[in-house]
């Protein structure tokens, strides 16, 4: 994340908006254009001296530059946001090495009527401008959610292969993880919302993908590199594949398992490790992490025979992600905990079931009001936390799902409880249980 100040961010978007508007009235070489262009260039250079890039764009109709969201925009900002929307551009990245000519070309593209984002991207490419990158809205809208869907399909295929007695291919799993890695590297919290997607009828698939997503976010926030985040994703996706070898009646049993049934269930980590070790392209470390995902931090878990084997951070990461997803999910034998209660519960497991340090990092990543938490605001609205705000734990990014009159809001926009100018929208009064309000949290994320 860059170190751009609010003032510089505001100034930059205002200048870009102004220059774009000016191009309707004057040709590119006109002083009325050259002057602001020079200022834009100087502004970018100033920011790029300390940050490798400048990201701006529109999220749910709100213009942003890096971490600054302009919830109460000036007319110039609104104009630029509208232009981005009209051209179906969701994001724009200006990288180090950008020239004044590159910026001039970008602004002329923004000013041209009828040139959409995809065409703009093509024209930038034709000119071999690599210092300006465009994200086209369609790609973005489907982006994370679409990849989540692909991940579900991949897990389904893997499980089907195993059930048919085939060795599943590692390639597809790795492919889908790579797509998610790119998103996670940009911002470790990007995928957290996805992990709130729960599907009672497809527990195994959703649980597998959610554990992968949570493990990737945690690994990214721990500062691991791309390869490390990828391993965490693959291990998370595959951690329970061994359950395919466990009798279905035991897996789906609503009540408490008998000792013999539990013994059978306890074999799933070793079954899983064996399957994974035969998959092409999947590293032995991943098989080892899967073998150890129920071994527990105090080594009193299962499989008993593996308690003395060496297990590294990856199995601790999977254990934490697994625990969080399991306890926040509705099952035949269990009501789900809300995210905040789940973190409290995990704290009580730190040092015995789970690694204390890893729990600590996970709790920090999730923030005071974790993604998926339903909160009551002091203006009587009920809102859903959709993104943490590391700069201010009390003011996460939210969506109002029930207005003050008690009506459900169909398509709520993202809002900041406190915007960059310090203006307060509302404050959180308390956490509300989604079950009490009957809200399907996953629908809004």
Contacts of residue 227, defined as CB under 8 A and 6 or more positions apart, other chains included, come to: none
Minimum distance between the CB of residue 322 and Fe ion, rounded to whole angstroms? 4
Question: Are residues 314 and 235 in contact, defined by beta-carbon separation less than 8 angstroms?
Answer: yes
Tell me the closest approach of the beta carbon of residue 169 to Fe ion, in angstroms: 22
CA distance linking residue 291 with residue 274, whole number of Å: 9
Is 270 a residue that touches Fe ion (CB under 5 A)?
no
Of 224-232, 239-247, 329-337, 434-442: span binding Fe ion (CB under 5 A): 239-247
Closer Cβ to Fe ion, 98 or 273, answer by number: 273
Nearer to Fe ion, 362 or 444 (CB): 362
Q: At what angle do helices 75-86 and 6-22 cross, to 10 degrees?
A: 70
137 or 295: CB nearest Fe ion = 295
- CA distance readout (Å), 319 to 178, 273, 294, 356: 22, 15, 7, 12
Q: Which of 134, 127, 152 is nearest to 208 (CA)?
A: 152
Please report, as residue ranges, which positions from 372 to 431 form the binding site for Fe ion (by CB under 5 A): none
Strands 53-59 and 89-95: antiparallel
Residue 204 CB, nearest distance to Fe ion (Å)?
9
| Nearest distance, CB of residue 328 and Fe ion, angstroms | 12
Distances (CA, A) of 248 to 251, 258, 264: 5, 15, 11
Element (H, E) at 183: helix 170-186
With respect to Fe ion, which residue has the nearer C-beta, 273 or 397? 273
Asked if 231 is part of the footprint of Fe ion (rule: CB under 5 A), the reply reads no
Least separation in angstroms between residue 269's CB and Fe ion is: 6
301 Cα distance to chain centroid: 31
Instruction: Candidates 79, 88, 102, 240: give the one binding Fe ion (CB under 5 A).
Output: 240
- Least distance (Å) from Fe ion to the CB of residue 390? 28
Q: How far is the CB of 388 from Fe ion (least distance, A)?
A: 24
Nearer Cβ to Fe ion (84/237): 237
CA distance linking residue 353 with residue 327, whole number of Å: 14
Residue 322 binds Fe ion (CB under 5 A): yes
Closest CB 192 distance from Fe ion, rounded Å:
18
Q: How far is the CB of 140 from Fe ion (least distance, A)?
A: 30
Among candidates 434, 354, 366, 445, which has minimal Cα distance to 402? 434
Site mask, Fe ion, residues 178-217, x = CB under 5 A?
Answer: ----------------------------------------
Q: Supply the Cα-derived Rg of the chain in whole angstroms.
A: 24
In the numeric block, the tokens 């940009």 are attached to: 186
Residues near Fe ion (CB under 5 A), total: 2
Nearer to Fe ion, 140 or 240 (CB): 240
- Minimum gap (Å) between residue 321 Cβ and Fe ion: 9
Could you give the string, one character per residue 89-108, with x where binding to Fe ion holds by CB under 5 A and - elsewhere?
--------------------
In the bound state with Fe ion, the residue whose beta carbon lies nearer, of 88 and 322, is 322
Q: Stretches 103-111, 233-241, 275-283, 350-358: which one binds Fe ion (CB under 5 A)?
A: 233-241
Helix axis angle, 137-163 relative to 203-221, nearest 10°?
120
- With a CB cutoff of 8 Å and minimum separation 6, the contacts of 273 are 242, 287, 288, 290, 291
What phi and psi, each to the nearest 5 degrees, are found at residue 181? -60, -45
State which residue, 147 or 329, has the beta carbon closest to Fe ion.
329
Q: SS3 of 233, please?
A: helix
Which one of 120-128, 230-238, 320-328, 412-420 is the stretch in contact with Fe ion (CB under 5 A)?
320-328
Give the range of 255-263, 316-324, 392-400, 417-425 binding Fe ion by CB under 5 A. Answer: 316-324
CA distance 311 to 292: 6
Instruction: Write out the residues near Fe ion by the rule CB under 5 A.
Output: 240, 322
């Amino acid at each position: 994340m860059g170190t751009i100040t609010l003032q510089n961010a505001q100034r930059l978007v205002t200048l870009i908006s102004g220059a774009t508007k000016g191009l309707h009235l004057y040709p590119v070489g006109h002083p009325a254009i050259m002057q602001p262009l020079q200022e834009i260039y100087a502004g970018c250079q100033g920011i790029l001296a300390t940050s490798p890039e400048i990201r701006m764009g529109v999220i749910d109709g709100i213009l942003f530059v890096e971490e600054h969201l302009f919830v109460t925009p000036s007319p110039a900002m609104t104009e630029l946001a509208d232009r981005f929307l009209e051209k179906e551009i969701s994001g724009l990245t200006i990288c180090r090495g950008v020239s004044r000519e590159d910026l001039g070309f970008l602004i002329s593209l923004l000013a041209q009527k009828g040139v959409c984002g995809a065409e703009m991207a093509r024209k930038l490419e034709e000119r071999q401008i690599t210092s300006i990158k465009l994200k086209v809205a369609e790609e973005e809208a489907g982006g994370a959610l679409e990849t989540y869907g692909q991940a579900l399909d991949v897990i389904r295929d893997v499980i089907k292969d195993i059930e048919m007695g085939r060795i599943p291919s590692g390639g597809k799993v790795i492919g889908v993880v790579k797509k998610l890695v790119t998103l996670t590297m940009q911002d470790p919290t990007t995928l957290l919302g996805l992990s709130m997607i729960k599907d009672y009828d497809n527990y195994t698939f959703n649980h597998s993908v959610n554990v992968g997503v949570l493990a990737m976010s945690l690994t990214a926030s721990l500062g691991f590199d791309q390869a490390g985040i990828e391993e965490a994703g693959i291990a998370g996706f595959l951690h329970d594949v061994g359950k395919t070898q466990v009798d279905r009646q035991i897996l789906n049993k609503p009540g408490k398992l008998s000792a013999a049934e539990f013994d059978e269930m306890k074999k799933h980590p070793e079954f899983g490790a064996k399957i994974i070790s035969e998959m092409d392209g999947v590293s032995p470390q991943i098989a080892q992490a899967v073998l150890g995902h129920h071994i527990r931090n105090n080594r009193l878990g299962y499989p008993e025979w593996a308690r003395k084997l060496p297990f590294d951070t990856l199995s601790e990461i999977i254990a934490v992600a697994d625990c969080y997803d399991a306890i926040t999910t509705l099952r035949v034998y269990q009501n789900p905990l809300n995210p905040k209660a789940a973190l409290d519960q995990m704290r009580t497991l730190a040092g015995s079931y789970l690694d204390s340090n890893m729990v600590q990092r996970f709790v920090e990543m999730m923030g005071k009001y974790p993604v998926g938490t339903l909160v009551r605001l002091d203006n009587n609205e009920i809102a859903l936390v959709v993104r943490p705000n590391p700069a201010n734990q009390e003011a996460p990014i939210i969506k109002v799902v029930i207005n003050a009159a008690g009506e459900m809001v169909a398509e709520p926009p993202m809002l900041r409880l406190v915007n960059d100018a310090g203006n307060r929208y509302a404050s959180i009064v308390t956490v509300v249980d989604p079950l009490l309000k009957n809200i399907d949290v996953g629908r809004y994320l």
